[in-house]
Structure 1
């Protein structure tokens, strides 16, 4: 483990990896990572690498269609990662060692003729299906209208949840309250765990485009301020609840998108508590940074900067814009994965 990673973990940050690629899991485990997450783009990249061709060929031989193959590969890759983190899950009694499994992003495809209630019912069905029999798998559900409406029933069925695509305090609050209602119905509060993935860098890209008049002090800090405020609200809410395990924020979208920013910008700004799920390149940058990280998660920008941001930011526009973009970033990779498997089908059947 590098000194920089060690100092980050020493602040209280739980380091997770935004990938389930087996060699990256091994590398990040050695660095001190205690969990991971999956999404369609990650699975697509692994399939593109060609290392799963023999498995795809075997599944084709079983007569599976492209969608069934995509989900079988996803399930198997997540299971492989779960096995690698299982000892951490046992040692922490469920506070770490989790791997997140994302439900079908195509449920949010706006071109599909589905009502929100139909989408919600499908989230509940799939959440129960893909969580069954797993001890350290989190089910990832987006904080869309349909996803939020599914959370209470999933939590009531004792499904461990990672709510993703959260950009605003309102999304977080609705998700948290729904899961807490469901958890109390489930009744297994000693093993109850929930996490809430707050997206950060995408907010700063939004403000660069929509709020170019922000001062230099405020521009590029909106995502960080938003995450810190929600982190504080989360701390305050759960401090009064009788849960054995930590109910945590995941700081997500922590890879910098502005080329002028250091790659460790968000890691450094949010060190000290809860979970950072970082892209592989971001964790690599932390290892190589030589930085000695210190706790910053509870250090807020100046009141002047906060007031400037609050006066300029249209929360509803930010929410609708980023959710629309976020859904698109989920739907397109899933369709690309299905197209990739279709291409592999042709390629392998021709040999």
Structure 2
């Protein structure tokens, strides 16, 4: 019998710098992951909606109490109070890791309102509130121009950030630079930084999704295998730059679509947030657990990818200016997805209020 509880557990044990997170804050999911070496977890309104639906017997009385105790609350007020409660409660499951690793692991990411993606001040204000919900919170903000500004300010205020709605090297570099500016401001005032743990997500599966959508829309014919490697190529390039420049921020991969999104990043000093379904698939697979982070994407694949102008924009550090981030195809589709997910959670609350 293997000493490991699946391939992700083996990854966590053999490559402790490659952190595996659970892309959920559900009770079952967290228990499963913690038994297999996860060191972090993620929430957002879509995830909270799924957790509430899956655990409705537990959360329905809590929701009804929020409604009863706050007679003037709108649906949105109830939703965000619920998100606060879910985040605060489930972050406690990670506290032992947070304490063991002195803030560098064991955090729960919790997301600001996606509707604020153009409003720096609102994001910062909400980030301060979300950070107050627990000692080990990590606040997610979208990597828009306004979000980049908010990340600098939030970092200055001592908040560990997680950049989300991010798909490109340009976004990853802009995030890392913003964090460095925020940390420099803290250090200039002798404020503590040692336990801060910022990360920048690259939603590599959604980078792939956008390449597939773009080539389909434009009628481009490329080797279909290359479309499974776009996100991997992007995050490997961002990782190279991060290591070269010594950024404090660590990269975080997200949105798994194939095993490359895990196996090609093994050995890196980075995080991987993987949803429950993919965790179970990968734990049961027969892919060898071996360091591949420094293996380049093949010349053949890169040649095909470079035929795609949107890939070049994604891969090139100078491919976009921050003011362009929110117009990137993957940004638009993901933001709409997040907003739709929020609306679905509102409908759940509406069903209990009306």
Displacement after TM superposition at 1:103 (Å): 0.3
CA contact 1:3–1:290 (8 Å) conserved in 2: no
Please name the residue that 2:322 is paired with: none
2:199–2:252 contact (8 Å) kept in structure 1: yes
Please give the alpha-carbon distance, in whole angstroms, between the structure 2 residues aligned to 1:27 and 1:182: 36
Which of residues 98, 112, 117 is equivalent to 1:103? 112
What pairs up with 1:247-258 in 2 under 5 angstroms? Answer: 247-254=249-256, 256=257
Asked if 1:264 is matched to 2:266, the reply is no
Shift of 1:25: 0.8
Find the aligned partners of 1:292 and 1:304 in 2 and give their Cα distance: 23
Question: Does the CA-based 8 Å contact 2:230-2:311 persist in structure 1?
Answer: no
SS in 2 for 1:219: helix
What is residue 351 of structure 2 aligned with on the other side?
A: 343
Aligned residue in 2 for 1:135: 135
Distance 1:303 1:315, change over 3 A: closer
- How much does 1:252 deviate? 0.7
The match for 1:333 among 341, 348, 351 is 341
Q: TM-score with structure 2 length normalisation? A: 0.86
How far off is 1:218 after superposition?
Answer: 2.4
Contact residue 211 and residue 310 of structure 2 kept, 8 A: no
Q: Is the 8 A contact 1:183 1:192 kept in 2?
A: no
- Which one of the candidate residues 297, 300, 310 is aligned to 1:301? 297
Which residue of structure 2 lines up, in the alignment, with residue 112 of structure 1? none
Deviation sequence 1:289-348 (CA, Å, 0-9, x none): 2433111122112234324323433358766111111110111111221122011213xx
Tell me the CA shift for residue 28 of structure 1.
1.0
Structure 1 length as normaliser, TM-score? 0.87
Report the alpha carbon displacement of residue 216 of structure 1 after superposing the two structures with TM.
4.6
Deviation by residue 1:71-128 (Cα, 9 ceiling, x = unmatched): 12211211222111111111111221010010011224xxxxxxx4xx1110111111
Instruction: Give the gaps of 5 or more residues in structure 1.
Output: 109-115, 257-262, 347-351
Distance 1:159 1:206 in 2: 31
Q: More deviation in 149-158 or 316-325?
A: 316-325
Q: Shift of residue 287 of structure 1?
A: 1.8
Separation in 1 of the partners of 2:160 and 2:82?
21
Q: Are 2:54 and 1:73 equivalent residues in the alignment?
A: no
Partner of 1:14, secondary structure, is: strand
Residue of structure 1 aligned with 2:240, choices 232, 235, 239: 232
Matches within 5 A, 1:150-169: 150-169=150-169
Query: Against the structure 1 CA distance between its residues 316 and 141, is the aligned structure 2 distance closer, same or farther, given a 3 Å change threshold?
Result: farther
* Residue of structure 1 in register with 2:318 after alignment: none
Residues 226-276 of structure 1: per-residue CA shift (max 9 Å, x gap): 1111111112222xx6xxxx631100111x2xxxxxx53321122222111
Bigger mean CA offset, 185-194 vs 97-106 = 185-194
Aligned with residue 63 of structure 2, among 50, 56, 71: 56
Gaps of 5+ in 2: 315-324
* Cα distance change on mapping 1:131 and 1:207 into 2, 3 Å: same
Inter-partner Cα distance in structure 1 for 2:196 and 2:64: 39
Alpha carbons of structure 1 residues 130 and 41: separation in structure 2 relative to 1, 3 Å: same
The alpha-carbon distance between structure 1 residues 316 and 71, as it changes in their structure 2 partners (threshold 3 A), is farther
